[in-house]
Amino acid sequence: MNSALKKRIGNVLSWVMTFLLMLVICVPGLWVVLTAFRPNSEVLAKPAVWIPQNFNLNNFAKIFGFGAEQVAIPVPAYFTNSLIIALTSTAIALLIGMSGGYAFARYRFRFKNGLFLGLMLSRTVPGIALSLPVFMIWSRIGLIDAKLGLIIVYVALNVPFTVWLIDGFFRQIPKEMSEAAQVDGCTRWEAFWKIEFPLAKSGIASAGIFAFLTSWNEYALASQLTRSTDSKTLPVGLMDFTAQFTIDWAGMSAMAVIIIIPALVLTFLVQKHLIAGLTFGGVKG
Amino acid sequence: MSNIAKGVPFWRKEQFTPFILLSPAILTLMFVVLLPLLFSLYTSFTGYRLIRPESLYDWVGFRNYERIFSNKNFWIAFGRTILFLTIALNVEFILGLGIALLINRITWGQRTLRTFMMFPMMFSPILVGYQFKFIFNDNIGILNNALQALGLSDGAIPWLVDKYLAMFSILFAEIWMSTSVFAILLLAGLFAMPRDPLEAAKVDGCNAWQVFRHITLPFIMPFAFIAMTIRSLDVARAYDIVDVMTGGGPAGRTELLWTLIARVGYDNSRMGQANAMAYVSILLSILFTYYFFTKLLAARKYMGGAE
């Protein structure tokens, strides 16, 4: 009786704690999302308006250049840039990562550990520290304010992680399967595409999603390597709103929602594989 | 064997295959990371300024390093960065552990909770910064509005203007963003834990705390170190948050090493000096990663499970 009561109190307590936790996680984001659908007059109102009265899509229409009112910030161009840069760099990083991950998972070779460590260490360089020399070199070879310049940097940023994750996913596939295929007359190349690639496909996809998000969200390097609508990405464009004396909170929130949506959708798709990949690669070495 | 291999060009030999497979990765990193870093190492020994391109050949020896090491602002930013990381990582670990234990207890809706927990991890740091800039705004922020509506405070609390409160707000944003890395990985550790030792310990009369301290905690420590290693790989993303929330202000009170680098390098265009600072920040990151990676290896060995 006594212990049952104790257990009950414990359960209630953990639910209360969980509720509070979810509140802290969700409220900040939700508040921004709500603001995206409200006019600035309501955001700035004193005393505060708690329950939104004017719920509409005007902010989105404004930043995308529809409707009567328009903002001077070319969000559609930033959106296209972000999409092109993130997709291209992800595709390249995945190809490089697959080839590198396969090498680490399937071969023994000299300098293996050293190379792996080197790969990881290259990822520790803070973005802003890397941006200084990249800025100097890129400005000499004309890659500043070019999509290509940012794509190259993002590929390098994503390669270590994709190699690490994909290495883990290949390792989970027993070596014997591709060996059996090779005995049956496949070349190693064929065995890879017929056996190992299909099995590791979902893992590789989640590595790709992770790479996409890294590129999509990156700010420190992009803010220094881009200048105009030719190459500015959404995170850099978000700062355009604060350049003025008055901050357009509603417009900024609408833009924030545009940046968040892909992240939320992709997170939902990737969550299971990502946890598996990270823990497997880390614990089983 | 060697007779057969004779006619084969060297790149077709089996022992070269991994290097060929790895060459795109190595080349990319050489071109984008290694080469630029060598260039910036050279630049850190020159008086290079962006506005005077010829100063790139102006060799000054260790003057940049001497100058930053005798600069009070640099040491303040450096100390603040260390303090910031220490507080952030410790709080994230403790909160993450608490959250993982909490969610591990709950049986209903566990998957949904876990998904929700992952969202902050995937937020762009710049968005996290913006979100909290909005919430902590002294005039229209939801926090001050709520405090005033509840009668807990009568004036506007200057969350992002006061020097201590600004640092607190930035830490809050950082912890909000990164605690889930710990929570998720520690939860994965708890899921992977074998039940037998727990049962055995209970039979032997251990209390809940003893079981936690001597069985659960050592088992999930490697997972904590994975989280720490992953975190230390990108500690510098705090730059994004600070840049949006305060820009290093008020009056340099929230300046971290990374924002200082950007200010010296781009705003004051003293590239030589900024590169010297950048090297300090790179060493700091490597040190953090190395430290946690060795801890991870040690914890793994202690567990005895993995290779």
- What's phi and psi for A113, nearest 5 deg? -65, -40
Q: By the 8 A CB rule, do B118 and B184 touch? A: yes
**DSSP assignment of B150-175:** TTS-SS---TTTSHHHHHHHHHHHHH
Which of chain A's residues have a Cβ under 8 Å away from the Cβ of B176?
A: 24-25, 28
Radius of gyration of chain A (CA): 24
Which of chain A's residues have a Cβ under 8 Å away from the Cβ of B285?
A: 124-126
Q: Do A124 and B286 touch (CB under 8 A)?
A: yes
Q: Give the minimum alpha-carbon distance from A122 to chain B in angstroms, rounded to a whole number.
A: 7
Q: Do A275 and B184 touch (CB under 8 A)?
A: yes
Q: Give the minimum alpha-carbon distance from B247 to chain A in angstroms, rounded to a whole number.
A: 11
Q: Do A267 and B118 touch (CB under 8 A)?
A: yes
User: What is the interface pTM, i.e. ipTM, of the complex?
Assistant: 0.84
Q: Give the minimum alpha-carbon distance from B232 to chain A in angstroms, rounded to a whole number.
A: 7
Q: What distance, in Å, lies between the first and last C-alpha atoms of chain A?
A: 47
Question: Does the domain at residues A75-284 carry the CATH identifier 3.30.559.10?
Answer: no
Contact status of B143 with chain A (Cβ, < 8 Å): no
Which of chain A's residues have a Cβ under 8 Å away from the Cβ of B306?
A: 283-285
Q: Could you tell me how many CB contacts below 8 A there are between chain A and chain B? A: 259
Which of chain B's residues have a Cβ under 8 Å away from the Cβ of A213?
A: 122
Mean pLDDT, residues B105-113: 80
Q: Give the minimum alpha-carbon distance from A244 to chain B in angstroms, rounded to a whole number.
A: 13
Domain spans, chain A = 2-56, 75-284
Q: Do B233 and A124 touch (CB under 8 A)?
A: yes
Q: Which domains does chain B have, with CATH numbers?
A: 1-34 (no CATH), 68-302 (1.10.3720.10)
- What is the predicted pLDDT for the residue at A179? 85
**H-helix segments, B109-265:** 110-122, 125-135, 142-149, 163-192, 196-203, 208-211, 217-233, 238-245, 257-262
Q: Do A107 and B18 touch (CB under 8 A)?
A: yes
Mean pLDDT, residues B11-29: 85
Q: Give the minimum alpha-carbon distance from A66 to chain B in angstroms, rounded to a whole number.
A: 24
3-state secondary structure of B49: strand
- What is the predicted pLDDT for the residue at B3? 46
Q: What is the mean pLDDT of chain B?
A: 85
Nearest CA in chain B to A160: B25
**Interface-testing mutation among A3, A32, A42, A124, with chain B (most B C-beta atoms within 10 A):** A124
Q: By the 8 A CB rule, do B58 and B47 touch? A: yes
Contact status of B131 with chain A (Cβ, < 8 Å): yes
Cα dihedral B231, B233, B234, B235, rounded to 10, equals: 60
Nearest to B282 among A31, A129, A284 (CB): A129
Which of chain A's residues have a Cβ under 8 Å away from the Cβ of B44?
A: none
pTM: 0.86
Q: What are the pLDDT tens digits along chain A (285 aa)?
A: 577 888 888 888 888 888 898 888 888 888 888 888 888 888 777 777 777 777 788 888 887 777 666 667 788 889 999 999 999 999 999 999 999 999 998 888 888 888 888 888 888 899 899 999 999 899 889 999 999 999 999 999 999 989 988 888 888 888 888 888 888 888 888 888 888 888 888 788 888 988 998 899 999 999 999 988 889 999 998 888 776 567 788 888 888 999 988 878 887 777 766 666 666 554 443
Tell me the pLDDT band of B11, cut-offs 50, 70 and 90: low
Round to whole Å and give the CA distance between B147 and B137.
13
- What is the predicted pLDDT for the residue at A245? 62
Which of chain B's residues have a Cβ under 8 Å away from the Cβ of A44?
A: 140
